[in-house]
Amino acid sequence: MRMFENIKKLLYKKFFIIYSLWIILCFFLFLIINRITPLIGEDYTLTAYNYFTGPENILSFFKDVFNRIIIQSQGWNVRLGEQLSILFGSMNPVVFDISNAIVSVLFIHLIYMYAFPSKTTDYGKAAICGILSFALILLFQPVIGEVFFWRTGSTNFLWGVTILLIFTLPIYYVFCGIDILSGRKITIILHTLTGFFAGFTNENTVISTIALYAVTIIFVCFIKRERIKFWMVTSFGTLFLGFLYMLFAPSTAHRVSFYREILGITSNFNIETILSRIPIIWIGLIKNYLVYFLLLFVLFIAFLVFQAIGKTTREKTGLTINYSMPYCFIRNTVLLLISSLSVTAMAASPYYVPRAFFGFSFFMLVTIIYCFYHLINRNKKLFKIAVIITSLILIPAAFEYSRIYSTHSHYNDFVKKRAEYLTSTADGGQTSAEYVRYDNKHDARILMHEWWIYDGDRFDNRFSGYYGLDCIFIKIDNTQE
């Protein structure tokens, strides 16, 4: 017995070291790309300062940032991510780059926490989950550049979804029969306060969280026949208040009206219109996340086939199959279905972009990882083969990372040269300049194309203002400089 415990401890330490080293490696891999990703699009306006200005002291910094946040939240977008972008955009870029790399790693760890809910960490599972999650994100996340590296995209979607996932974790664990807040009064207070900010992180993903709360409360009250925890009520209340704050903010109505106008939508959205848009939204989702859906389909079929075979032992393969349908499989399926509400909710929006599905893609990854691990963990041979496959997937992931690095590095060099020219022009006392467009020949999946900063034959006034110029014209000759 003591020998078994010693072996178990050694394995625990071994996997802990492996997972820790992997997390550290992921942090630096994300950090390297973040360090060579320049300002893109709205980054030029979501800041309290332009290229030449900065805070006089710490008090003026907070005052300037607060005033800029008020303007943004009242005039265009109240979403938390916009305000975080202003905060980071007004600081040294290193602060955001390091913080964003940490949140990226935390996002990957949350996939494990949702796939295998437990009060303790199984570092063996976590290592396989971490490697596979990183590779799937790197290779197949259709908006990896917008969500993980672009500052404003990261704060709105990576940060927004991660904050919401951390807030949702306790209620999800209750749904799984685990109470991680019991007896932790200070944590409960912080969790309740976080609910308000989580409520205005994202218009569509919050809807799934509200639904998960409702399903959990029904599950606890009517199926388990237990009393609901007080923190479940208070945190749900703050979450809902935050959501209402975002939903009915004047800036939200203004932004919706703006997009309806530029998209030529003149009639009001009614139930018939929304229902007709649901298939369009889902087709768009499937097109963008086709690989994720294929993996889900294959793993689901394999999982169900193995379960249907029953309690048999196949001598040739040595595969022992458990007949009972695991509760955790049903739980993950329910979670995926609840999260799909965030996709359907986009039908009520006048437009959508693929990054709006980022929250749902998280739960697809959770289900993929769970099914994959549950299938390979049936016997040692299958497990060893899966470990080899998981390791081999890092080869194409390494090539893709190299491509991402090369693309961002090339664009960063272009932006540096452009900034040097424009700032020297402004320093010379001129009020206008001209410069070429970026060719945008790269893959938009790994780096968002420049479009926001262009306005006809010139650069957008807000972009020009960032460099202290009244106007920047676009050179007709599109030769790169």
Give the per-residue pLDDT at 322: 45
Q: What is the pTM of this model?
A: 0.91
Residue 134 lies in a domain: yes
Give yes or no: residues 334 and 426 share one domain.
no
Q: What is the pLDDT of residues 73-111, one digit of tens each?
A: 998 899 999 999 999 999 999 999 999 999 999 999 999
Q: What is the pLDDT of residues 354-390, one digit of tens each?
A: 888 999 999 999 999 988 888 777 667 777 777 788 7
Give yes or no: residues 249 and 366 share one domain.
yes
**Range of weakest confidence among 141-150, 160-169, 381-390, 468-477:** 381-390
Residue 327 lies in a domain: yes
Residue 479 lies in a domain: no
Of 392, 420, 443, the residue at which a domain comes to its end is 392
Residue 399 lies in a domain: no
Give yes or no: residues 272 and 223 share one domain.
yes
Per-residue tokens: 182: 């019991």
Residue 315 lies in a domain: yes
Give yes or no: residues 329 and 441 share one domain.
no
Q: How many domains does the chain have?
A: 2
Give yes or no: residues 98 and 230 share one domain.
yes
Q: Has residue 315 got a pLDDT over 50?
A: no
Average pLDDT over residues 61-67: 95
Average pLDDT, the chain: 86
Give yes or no: residues 105 and 233 share one domain.
yes
- The CB-side HSE value for 102 (13 A sphere, CA atoms) comes to 7
- How far apart, in whole angstroms, are the C-alpha atoms of residue 128 and residue 15? 10
Helix axes 290-309, 358-376, angle to 10 degrees: 30
Give yes or no: residues 375 and 408 share one domain.
no
Of 392, 417, 448, the residue at which a domain comes to its end is 392
Of 368, 392, 416, the residue at which a domain comes to its end is 392
Give yes or no: residues 201 and 251 share one domain.
yes
Q: Has residue 22 got a pLDDT over 80?
A: yes
Give yes or no: residues 126 and 224 share one domain.
yes
Residues in a beta bridge with 432: 471
- How far apart, in whole angstroms, are the C-alpha atoms of residue 393 and residue 127? 14
Give the per-residue pLDDT at 439: 84
Q: Supply the range of the domain harboring residue 421.
A: 404-474
- How far apart, in whole angstroms, are the C-alpha atoms of residue 452 and residue 454? 6
Residue 36 lies in a domain: yes
> Are the beta carbons of 134 and 151 closer than 8 angstroms?
no
Average pLDDT over residues 327-339: 83
Residue 480 lies in a domain: no
Length in residues, the chain? 481
Residue 193 lies in a domain: yes
Compute how many other C-beta atoms are within 10 angstroms of the C-beta atom of residue 217.
18
Give the per-residue pLDDT at 323: 39
Q: Can you list the positions of beta strands (E) in 268-347? A: 313-314, 319-320
Give yes or no: residues 72 and 123 share one domain.
yes
Q: What is the pLDDT of residues 265-285, one digit of tens each?
A: 666 667 877 888 889 899 999
Give yes or no: residues 366 and 421 share one domain.
no
Based on C-alpha coordinates, what's the Rg of the chain?
A: 25
Of the pLDDT bands very low, low, confident and very high (cuts 50, 70, 90), residue 310 is: low
Give the per-residue pLDDT at 47: 94
**Range of weakest confidence among 117-126, 287-296, 392-401, 467-476:** 117-126
Give yes or no: residues 345 and 426 share one domain.
no
- How far apart, in whole angstroms, are the C-alpha atoms of residue 174 and residue 177? 5
